[in-house]
Structure 1
Amino acid sequence: MGSAESPLEMFNRLMGAEEDKSAVEAQIQTLIAVIQQSEEAQTVTEVREKIVETNNELMRSHLANASVRSGGELFLRYITMTELDQPRFDDTRRVLISRGENFLSRIRQSLDRIMSMALPFINHGTRVLLHSRSKVVLALLKRAAKAQLDFQCTVTQSLPDKSGERMLADLQQAGINASLVLDAEVGVALERVDMVLLGAEAVTQSGGIVNKIGTYTVCLCAHALNVPVYVLAESCKFLRAYPLNQADLDLELRYPASAERTRTKSGGQCRSPITDYTPPQYLKLLFTDIGIVPPSAVSDELTKLYL
């Protein structure tokens, strides 16, 4: 991080440099740089305060999502979870940076672990419904295509940003048989598929997920039609939150800085939510880097991450 570059500027630059860089990866790179540059901090408490302050700043980025909140909490826990008794604080800082780099390495390796567990669920002739554009789901489907598996994808348009259209283009570019349907058509489309594959911006302690607006509707329809819903998510997205419904979801998760503004009939402006919450009873399994986890086990796994 250059001397004139703020943490928020660095985060936005990293996200812009690579189209498929995850928000958590860019966040952790930024936090490591903050620790390296925070020479005025001379205690672990001061470093913690700086990290918390930086995380709050990053949440204001238009490129941030719910995973930035969970990733920041886990990063802070990971680098300070054991004793840091060093003769000089410069030595302590180096330990913190080393642990941070190890945490970043684990995040980068998580994708391969998830794909290795999820790939056996895709077979010749499998018909998959997708909502929005998930980098993890896209990577899995590309790997399945390389394995010469003949499967079909149906992608929702995913308004308001039409992220499903981007997903469709990526799939077709990879030679994958894919078609687009309107969001309102999802109930009809689900009658023609074998499973739903989703990513997640965050996995809550309840075992539910926070994801692109419309996910809840997709999962409700899938549940009614007995179509299993599988979620692919890194464990760094496990969030200490226990919403019971949409109203329980924190405003910063429902209305991130990137939420689009729409004009009301009276001439005022309001923000449309860009995420919703899907309760655990509508999800079949979660594929994570720590294993294949049923929604009911997420709370226990989250507890282990913080021990």
Structure 2
Amino acid sequence: MNVKDLYDNKASGTAVAFKIIDFFSHNDIDENIIKDLKKYYFGIGLINYVCDSIISGRKKNLKEGIEKHDKMAIEHAKPLFNDSVIGTISFSSQVLKAFISNREKIKRVYILESMPEREGIDFASLLVKNGIDVVLLHDASIYELSLNVDFCIVGSDTVAYNGGLIHKNGTYPMALSMKYFKKPFYSITISEKINRNFLESSYKNIKNHDWNIDIPYINRFFDYTPPDLIDYYINENGFVKPSDVNI
């Protein structure tokens, strides 16, 4: 593996974080590379945590600790699944594991396609292969999704200091719509994704990706969901209110 392999827009944050751990397990720590990775993946809390841990010398059992918390969070999510119709967005490895391990208790999953990378389509295909009934929708079809689901559950890229959520573009309108319909909205995560230095105002620093057009544009892959739109985070400690994530 070389340094270029660490820059991958299509891989999940967890996959990239594990690549970084593996890379620096076999190579000397380079603070300039770490600094550049943190900048490139700004808004992805687990990568920020892994980079900080490597710099501070806390590499031992880093991957194992993340995997342990991941399994605990998925286990805590089990009570949600009760012959449920569920909505989600993008491609979260934690959500995928939770769905597959509880597939017999899922009636149907509504998934937004998740432009511009369309991860939702890949996610839907994997669920179908695992015997889960799926409906795929355009990102603008939030109303249709909200009408049909019992609740929404998404992954997380960063949990901000105030309990807000950075996740795939479209997460905010999904949470807003669920609040309107008085239906629960959850995010499954781990404490390693909490970034105590990430404030709501930090959102503007998330990368604006190229769009290859000649007019001004905004093409961020993530949006910000305020804590009052999130019912609970589900992490290794169980169901946690957004106001309590930093306790």
CA contact (8 A) 1:137 1:197 kept: yes
TM-score, normalised relative to structure 1: 0.72
Distance in 1 separating the partners of 2:86 and 2:210 = 29
Distance 1:240 1:133, change over 3 A: same
Paired position in structure 1 for 2:135 = 179
**Mapping of residues 33-112 of structure 1, within 5 Å:** 33-34=26-27, 37=28, 50-51=30-31, 53-59=32-38, 66-67=44-45, 68-73=47-52, 75=53, 80=56, 96=57, 99-112=58-71
The aligned counterpart of 1:23 is 16
Specify the alignment match of 1:11 in structure 2: 6
Asked if 1:294 corresponds to 2:241, the answer is: yes
Matches within 5 A, 1:1-307: 5=2, 8-9=3-4, 11-12=6-7, 22-34=15-27, 37=28, 50-51=30-31, 53-59=32-38, 66-67=44-45, 68-73=47-52, 75=53, 80=56, 96=57, 99-124=58-83, 126-145=84-103, 148-244=104-200, 248-252=201-205, 254-255=206-207, 259-265=209-215, 270-300=217-247
Report the number of matched residues: 246
Alpha-carbon distance in structure 2 between the residues aligned to 1:27 and 1:289: 23
Distance in 2, Cα, partners of 1:66 & 1:270: 22
Residue 173 of structure 1 deviates from its aligned partner by: 0.9
State the one-letter code of the partner of 2:20.
Q
Identity of aligned residues (%): 20
Q: Could you tell me how far apart the structure 2 residues matched to 1:260 and 1:55 are? A: 23
- Structure with higher RCO (Cα < 8 A, 6+ apart): 2
How far apart, CA to CA, are the structure 2 residues paired with 1:172 and 1:235? Answer: 30
Indicate conservation of the 8 Å contact 1:249/1:277, yes or no.
no
Taking only aligned residues, the RMSD between alpha carbons, in angstroms, comes to 2.7
Q: Is the CA contact (8 Å cut-off) linking 1:70 and 1:202 kept in structure 2?
A: no
Report the Cα distance in structure 2 between the residues aligned to 1:234 and 1:165, rounded to whole angstroms. 25
Which residue type is aligned with residue 21 of structure 2? I
Compared with structure 1, are the counterparts of its residues 135 and 235 closer, same or farther at alpha carbon in structure 2 (3 Å cutoff)?
A: same
* CA distance in structure 1 between the aligned counterparts of 2:42 and 2:159, rounded to whole angstroms: 16
- Asked if the contact 2:77/2:98 (under 8 Å) is kept, the reply is yes
1:54 shift after superposition: 2.7
Kept in 2, the 8 Å contact 1:204–1:242? The answer is: yes
Query: Structure 1 pair 64/25, CA: closer, same or farther in 2 (3 Å)?
Result: farther
Does the CA contact (< 8 Å) of 2:158 and 2:194 recur in 1?
Answer: yes
Q: Kindly provide the amino acid, as one letter, of the partner of residue 112 in structure 1.
A: K
CA gap 1:238/1:193 in 2 versus in 1, 3 angstroms: same
Q: Which runs of 5+ in 1 are unaligned?
A: 39-49, 81-95, 301-307
Distance 1:116 1:231, change over 3 A: same
Q: Which runs of 5+ in 2 are unaligned?
A: none
- 1:19 Cα deviation from its structure 2 partner: 7.8
2: CA distance between counterparts of 1:162 and 1:240?
A: 30
Give how far 1:250 is off: 4.1
- The structure richer in helix per residue is 1
